[in-house]
A and B are shown apart, each in its own frame.
Chain A
Amino acid sequence: GQQVMQIPQYQHVQEGEDFTTYCNSSTTLSNIQWYKQRPGGHPVFLIQLVKSGEVKKQKRLTFQFGEAKKNSSLHITATQTTDVGTYFCAGRAGGNNRLAFGKGNQVVVIP
């Protein structure tokens, strides 16, 4: 079945530094979504990418969808303590009825 892999699974990031988290699929995706889950909270939608090579920015967050629509990345600059949490990507293969979530990237921010 469709699988979405995220790397790394865990990251420790110094406050003020940048980091990137990656999402890879074995199949071509019709779209990719990113969610953030704060500790003790529930996943919250961040963004959706649909077009090949698409890049979207939200303040310090930059999201990218690969040209082949099989991978995606989330890059965060000048990390803040509020960035702590688990970041999930979720993708849908064309014709599939539901999203497949990755296992998430748990980010710990070191003050």
Chain B
Amino acid sequence: NAGVTQTPKFRVLKTGQSMTLLCAQDMNHEYMYWYRQDPGMGLRLIHYSVGEGTTAKGEVPDGYNVSRLKKQNFLLGLESAAPSQTSVYFCASSLSPGANQETQYFGPGTRLLVL
């Protein structure tokens, strides 16, 4: 199993450009998450999904959109990139929120630089 994969690994954007980050998991997990990580800020939840076709806002959703058309994929979109969105983006997945099934498995991350 590949686990959780993310593409691309690294990207440079100019202000105002758009892009989509792709996350894929092969563990048949119901829950998927998008986080951003900035120095000193830890992991901040952007959006998450509790199943195919559903999405919900996290802690810092502004400027991002997501879609979960297939259970194994969770896409994060930036419609008009801003320098404040320079960050490392992590995708994660978990089975469910049940007490013994909610270990989150993280992808390797996407490093995004917005100029």
CA distance A104 to B40 in the complex (A): 8
Q: Could you tell me if B106 and A44 are in contact, using CB atoms closer than 8 angstroms?
A: yes
CB neighbours of B85 from chain A (8 A): none
Interface size counted on chain A using CB atoms at 8 A:
22
Q: Could you tell me if A30 and B103 are in contact, using CB atoms closer than 8 angstroms?
A: no
Q: Nearest Cβ in chain B — how far from A46, in angstroms?
A: 10
CA distance A44 to B42 in the complex (A): 14
Q: Could you give, for residues 77-111 of chain A, a 1 whenever the CB lies within 8 Å of some chain B CB and a 0 otherwise?
A: 00000000000101010000111011110000000
Q: Could you tell me if A30 and B48 are in contact, using CB atoms closer than 8 angstroms?
A: no
Q: Nearest Cβ in chain A — how far from B62, in angstroms?
A: 16
Q: Could you tell me if B43 and A45 are in contact, using CB atoms closer than 8 angstroms?
A: no
Asked whether A33 is an interface residue with its Cβ less than 8 Å from the other chain, the reply is: yes
Q: Nearest Cβ in chain B — how far from A86, in angstroms?
A: 9
Asked whether A24 is an interface residue with its Cβ less than 8 Å from the other chain, the reply is: no
B104 interface neighbour in A9, A50, A97, A99, Cβ under 8 Å: A99
Asked whether A59 is an interface residue with its Cβ less than 8 Å from the other chain, the reply is: no
Asked whether B2 is an interface residue with its Cβ less than 8 Å from the other chain, the reply is: no
B42 interface neighbour in A33, A41, A103, Cβ under 8 Å: A103
Give B contacts to A, CB under 8 Å.
33, 35, 40-45, 48, 50, 56, 58, 90, 92, 97, 99-100, 102-109
Identify 13 residue pairs between A and B in the complex whose beta-carbon atoms are under 8 Å apart, listed by A's number: A31-B99, A31-B102, A42-B107, A43-B43, A43-B104, A45-B104, A48-B100, A50-B99, A97-B50, A98-B33, A101-B42, A101-B44, A103-B41
Closest 10 CB pairs of A and B: A103-B42, A42-B106, A101-B43, A45-B103, A43-B106, A104-B42, A42-B109, A42-B108, A50-B99, A101-B42
